[in-house]
Chains A and B, each alone.
Chain A
Amino acid sequence: MKDSRPFLRLKHVTFSYYSVTGETQALEDINFSVQKGSFVVLVGPSGCGKSTILSLISGLIKPVSGDITFYSEDFAAPRIGYMLQHDHLLEWRSVYRNIMLGLEINKIKTAENLAFIDELLEKYHLSNVKDLKPSALSGGMRQRIALIRTLALRPDLLLLDEPFSALDYQTRLSVSKDVYDIIKSEGKTAILVTHDISEAVAMADTVIMLTKPPCSVKGIIPIEFEKYGITRDEVRNSKLFQQYFDEIWGEMKNENTN
């Protein structure tokens, strides 16, 4: 039975950046909620405030007004893993020591956590690269490592900010599929940001469409391939995929023109 209470809710969230050159109102009125275990994708034109929303959810910045609420059974603060647009692997550390960065920072290099990292590397066939320097890896490989680095802290919620945008098209397809599989098999709740509509449709349980700035929610579309017995491996060839794509495209095309 599905838990109907959301895991996370944003209510009337607004945000502005202030600087000497003036105020930039980034978010006008953001409302949406995220169910536990779901994969939510935010789509919107570039500069509309997608990264700002993730930074707010992660707690790195505070909203000007509105509420961001997490609901958990044990009232503990949720652990949030945030994967930035670029992998930012540190070139002087080996792949393995890059993955350990979060454990080092939080001073939790316990035997149990180290074993967990080994397990992740093993499970996703990355053990053989762990002693290499990041510069020896391909772009797709680097993103997988960045994901493992995020997962090493066992987050309850994963935030992914355009993690595939720096990859070429072929790599993008295979890496996004891998990342999807990893997140689903770890049973994580995830919010992914992209401006690529087909990527959104392929990965999402729910697509949230955002307007151009100042940003608000334009529409929320549940993506229900599973209901029609279509597995995620084959969605891109299905007619339903085209329908979802066209629907979102139709809504979003007005947002991209200024």
Chain B
Amino acid sequence: MKTQINSSEGQKDYMRKAKLHKIFISFSRVLVFVGFLALWQTASSLKWIDSFYFSSPYAIAKLFVHDIHDMSLLSHIGVTLIESGISFLLIIIFAVIAASFFWFYPSLGKMFEPFLIVLNSLPKSALAPLIIVWLGTGPRTVILCGMSVGIFGCILNLYQAFEQTDAERLKLIETLGGNKLQKYTKVVFPQNIPTFISLAKVNIGLALVGVIIGEFLAGRQGLGYLIIYGSQVFKLDMVILSIVILCVIAMLLYGILNLLNRKVIARWQ
């Protein structure tokens, strides 16, 4: 039992200090960001750096407003988001199916485990050219590239988590008259929901990485395509704007999954 005494002076003092510290941290983060933008803008305005290569916050903002209005930027963002989303969903679906299959048929699991380990330790961008040869350019290739980065690790981790289910808990299901399917549905799967969420957290990022690689090599649309195209025609404002947008997307995705994670963890303890 937690005893809560909110009235004591010591506690009040501590809470005040803790709150101040939190405000200080948030404030200094904003300060770092604004300071960086200001330094960058000043450096490019005063010609300390060449704004042709390094762009400037103002130029990027201007380009953003302009490109948002003619819709082209939005459609590129949309393409990257959709391709990442599809890659991510496919990774998750395949991983759950494969890991579950391996759990139901452990001999199969043992058979495929070493191959998964090898594939997982491969630098995944090495697969991309092969995928292009097989499927040509276009969204299919990009989505497959997106999947190729995370999928092997995801299957492997999920399978290993399933494997580590406490044998006594499985025995409990047996004592209640349950079969293997019920061990899976009542214990193995629900017990690993938190594993699942943390894998999702990692793999949404990996899907984005893979999709950008795919768009570099085989895209005709999307932020990865914009970055490559921009760098080839020396429109570096466009390159940096795309990178900034990627940062924002990554941050938002991370935020969403973190929220989901906290909700699930609260329920699963």
Contacts and interface: CB of A to CB of B under 8 A. Distances in A.
Interface of A: 58, 60, 81-82, 84-86, 88, 90-92, 101-102, 104-106, 133, 135, 149, 153
Interface residues of B, number: 20
Contacts of A102: 176-177
A34 B197 CA distance: 49
Interface string B186-218: 110011010000000000000000000000000
A92 B190 contact: yes
A105 B176 contact: yes
A88 B183 CA distance: 13
B72 to A, nearest CB: 46
B267 A92 contact: yes
Contacts of A101: 176, 186
A136 to B, nearest CB: 10
A92 B186 contact: no
B161 to A, nearest CB: 15
B175 interface: yes
Interface stretch (B26-34, B166-174, B225-233, B241-249): B166-174
A243 to B, nearest CB: 36
B176 A106 contact: yes
Contacts of B173: 105
A86 B171 CA distance: 11
A82 B177 CA distance: 10
Given A60-B171, A88-B172, A91-B269, A105 B193 contact: no
Nearest to A104: B186
Interface in B47-92: none
29 contacts: A58-B175, A60-B171, A60-B175, A81-B175, A84-B171, A84-B172, A84-B175, A85-B168, A86-B168, A88-B166, A88-B172, A90-B169, A90-B186, A90-B187, A90-B191, A92-B190, A92-B191, A92-B193, A92-B267, A92-B268, A101-B176, A102-B176, A102-B177, A105-B178, A105-B186, A106-B176, A106-B177, A135-B269, A149-B176
B182 interface: yes
Interface string B229-269: 00000000000000000000000000000000000000111
A104 B178 CA distance: 9
B177 A90 contact: no
Interface in B150-167: 166
A43 to B, nearest CB: 22
B107 to A, nearest CB: 16
Nearest to B170: A88
Contacts of A90: 169, 186-187, 190-191
Contacts of B172: 84, 88
A108 to B, nearest CB: 10
A105 B187 contact: no
Contact of A88 (B168, B267, B268, B269): B168
B177 A105 contact: yes
A132 B182 CA distance: 24
Nearest to A103: B176
Query: Of residues B173, B176, B268, which shows the largest number of chain A Cβ atoms within 10 Å of its Cβ?
Result: B176
B186 to A, nearest CB: 7
A60 B178 CA distance: 11
Top 7 A-B residue pairs of the complex, sorted by shortest distance between their CB atoms: A82-B175, A102-B176, A105-B178, A88-B172, A92-B268, A105-B176, A88-B169
Interface string B109-148: 0000000000000000000000000000000000000000
Contact of B176 (A85, A133, A135, A153): A153
A88 B176 CA distance: 12
B169 to A, nearest CB: 5
Nearest to A87: B172
Contacts of A60: 171, 174-175
A52 B123 CA distance: 49
A85 B171 CA distance: 11
Given A60-B171, A85-B168, 9 more contacts: A60-B174, A81-B175, A92-B193, A102-B177, A104-B186, A105-B176, A106-B176, A135-B269, A153-B176
Contacts of B268: 91-92
Given A84-B175, A92-B268, A105 B182 contact: yes
B152 to A, nearest CB: 28
A58 B176 CA distance: 10
